[in-house]
Structure 1
């Protein structure tokens, strides 16, 4: 019998994407390196060593090394193979990104960064090996087998990434997926100077709206769907019973805690509960009630309802007006106040609903999925 895919595999792939984003940001000013020839593949040794860069390069690849090691071990690979996979993946990714940085004037590639990245990945692999030696991976597998069905790795990865996406400012509480404004800007920038730029601008122009906070109804619906969606995703990979109740209550607790943390990061600890508007409480109650009503549903039915909930969430968030608080928090992030979380939380907050929609569609397309 083949082993089920580990959620660590998907998390490692997602983290590698975040590392690539952080390493190549802001993706502007691409040019061929000076000096001619193919010397750009050689990484220079830096003239100085900023302490922050050293720490960031070490810690940045530590989770990647741990995740690759755990993914390899949990799919049946030997310890030596898992170590080799962690180091080779980190080295290949780091070298590729450092070479690409030579084409970006805002980035400074160096062989020291490569070395620190590999050392960080080695430290992560050692932590993974320690967890393995202490039996933590086996206990996780036992817990997973009790709570989730086989082939649940993608759903578990989505559920683990969901709170991270909530750390990025959202137009309404739990309202992830607000990527259309950015996508519109990218499209217009790409077509700037072309004959059809004005036509595309008119096509993509937002309808005139009233500035201010979203209406209480829009906010409550977004909160309800934002909580209901992850609950239903959990239900698609868990059998009916009391564990679904625990998963729903846990999702509600995580939502409240993460939104409180995100607001504290944006506006200070004294305003940590500013997100709790008159519509947030009813929205959370409605979302939790919807999850409780769906507890007896079969896994296929839960996936179908989750698909509807996520589609509704994306639509509601896309129509939500941008209020002054949301614009202010976005400005703080973009100016670097939260630069360490920027790539990770931003992209998860943008992409998570669409990744979940794609996974649900593939889940419903499987003929062997029980009703």
Structure 2
């Protein structure tokens, strides 16, 4: 039945580059895994350990359920993306096998490299749980790839909203969302929350409100909004898209804060500077609907340049470790996650500038 439906509607579906967005996401996610696995990238030395000794070591040494869960969930998206990309060219069996081999190879390289980092621990159980997560993602990929809602309806919705191409721009949106879901960052901000400044039942220091932080939030939102204005076929949907993304980020931040932060720190990511910046940004974005394409590009260039100026040379960004006392536990995974999200938030404007430079001449160019 599914095959008959797909054949009947194949001619109606535009020829979209289905796998290019997945390739961008896969490359980005591999970089994420490398960052989290090998940070802080310092004090490299040969500890005299053998990778064979790691593989044959007894399992469950100083290991917790949280470690296993994190490793499985970390490699689940990798297996999903690998499976979806391979399934476009190969059968179900080969897609699962090759995705599994890819995840095992990446995990083996990370575990081997960790042998030269005194701050990291190489483990055979890490390798097994990573491979298990990859297998789960690959099986999920081959199960949803032929579904009508995924193979036809989802592609049609994407085409109706964004048209042909624009894969790199959509990948940038996904990257922006990832950078914002860290509950130790203020809403759309890039400065880690300080427990000393925000501790409850103490009078706040004078002049706590920072107009520059509101400006950074506003510019961050304008970067996203101007990108959506360039990607969407109907520009009037840009404000709605930004609001929906803000709601998704807020919900994710709340759930993550409830799971990771101390109870009194549950809403620290939602501050007055962020609220003012969001309101100002939405008003300016609504006004930008009247701009021609050249004006939208100018707004994007200005937002990126001003945001970089504020975050790199004006505002004082705290180190990722300053947010760790806010968490209920002190696993290294969280420190790496904090550093990763801050790095992504800082890199995003540069990637957007590269995208703007590539599309400086024609509207419908796609990287």
**TM-score under structure 2 normalisation?**
0.75
In the TM superposition, 1:92-171 aligns within 5 A as: 92-138=105-151, 139-168=153-182
Find the aligned partners of 1:117 and 1:318 in 2 and give their Cα distance: 36
Residue 123 of structure 1: CA displacement? 1.0
Rounded to whole Å, the distance in 2 between the matches of 1:61 and 1:325 is 27
Equivalent position to 2:346, from 350, 366, 369: 350
Which residue does the alignment assign to 2:17? 3
Q: Distance in 2 between matches of 1:55 and 1:324?
A: 29
- Say whether 1:234 aligns with 2:201: no
**1:171-229: CA deviation from partner (whole Å, max 9, x where unpaired):** 764133x69xxxxxxxxxxxxxxxxxxxxxxxxxxxxxxx9877542122112112111
Specify which of 33, 51, 57 is matched with residue 46 of structure 1: 57
- The SS at the match of 2:56 is coil
Q: Give the aligned CA root-mean-square deviation in angstroms.
A: 3.7
Whole-Å Cα distance in 2 between the matches of residues 319 and 43 of structure 1?
A: 45
Q: Which of 303, 311, 326 is equivalent to 1:309?
A: 303
Higher deviation after alignment, 239-248 or 270-279: 270-279
* Cross-structure match for 1:360: 356
Q: 1:162/1:43 Cα in 2 relative to 1: closer, same or farther (>3 Å)?
A: same
Contact 2:55/2:124 (<8 A) preserved: yes
Mapped to 2, the partners of 1:149 and 1:329 lie a distance apart of 41
* Aligned counterparts of 2:185 and 2:173: Cα–Cα separation in 1: 21
Q: C-alpha displacement at 1:349, in angstroms?
A: 2.8
Which consecutive residues of structure 2, in runs of 5 or more, have no partner in the other structure? Answer: 1-14, 193-204
Q: 1:218-297 alignment to 2 at 5 Å?
A: 218-254=212-248, 256-257=250-251, 268-297=262-291
Judged with a 3 Å threshold, the aligned counterparts in structure 2 of structure 1 residues 111 and 170 are, in CA distance, closer, same or farther, namely closer
Residue of structure 1 equivalent to 2:43: 29
The structure-2 alpha-carbon separation of the partners of 1:321 and 1:306, relative to structure 1 and needing over 3 Å to count, comes to: closer
Contact 2:212 2:315 in 1 (8 A): no
Structure-2 separation of matches of 1:264 and 1:115: 29
Q: Give, in angstroms, the shift of residue 147 of structure 1.
A: 0.8
Q: How far 1:42 sits from its partner (Å)?
A: 7.3
Deviations 1:89-145 (A, max 9, x none): 212211211221222233333444333322321111111122224334223212111
Distance 1:248 1:18, change over 3 A: closer
For residues 263 and 120 of structure 1, do their structure 2 counterparts lie closer, same or farther at Cα, with a shift above 3 Å needed? Answer: closer
Report how many aligned residue pairs link the two structures.
334
- 1:329 aligned to 2:323? yes
Q: TM-score under structure 1 normalisation?
A: 0.74
CA distance in 1, matches of 2:258, 2:208: 21
Runs of 5+ consecutive residues of structure 1 not aligned to the other structure: 180-210
